[in-house]
Amino acid sequence: MLHLAFLLLLYFLPAIIGRQKRDATGIFLLNLFLGWTVIGWIIALIWACAAQPYAPVNWVPAAAATRYCCQCGTLTYPGAHFCAACGRSV
Ligand SMILES: [Zn+2]
């Protein structure tokens, strides 16, 4: 039983490696449907290693012109002199 679990883990290794990547769905589908052919498994593994990691961009609109507290990381409203969360001057 442990042997079967290990083989299953080894079979889905490309999907596990690429699960945080942008092309995670494509890597998983290639791994699932063509992984049984050795070349499909190798291509999925290379794709999983080569794909760019998913990096979300935290975008803050400049028009809001909020102030940022360096102590706790809270965005306070414009013109504020003190942080509403921790009370430190911003
Ligand atoms: Zn604060």
For residues 23 and 2, the answer to whether their CB atoms sit within 8 Å is: no
Q: Give the pLDDT of residue 76.
A: 79
For 16-56, write each residue's pLDDT tens digit.
Answer: 998 888 889 999 999 999 999 999 999 999 999 987 766 66
For 53-82, write each residue's pLDDT tens digit.
Answer: 666 666 655 555 677 788 888 887 777 888
Q: Give the pLDDT of residue 55.
A: 63
Taking each helix axis from N to C terminus, what angle separates 24-34 and 38-50, rounded to the nearest 10 degrees?
A: 170
CA 61 to ligand 1 center in whole angstroms:
20
Q: Give the pLDDT of residue 44.
A: 93
CA 56 to ligand 1 center in whole angstroms:
24
CA 22 to ligand 1 center in whole angstroms:
34
CA 75 to ligand 1 center in whole angstroms:
8
Q: Give the pLDDT of residue 20.
A: 86
Alpha-carbon Rg of the chain, whole angstroms?
A: 23
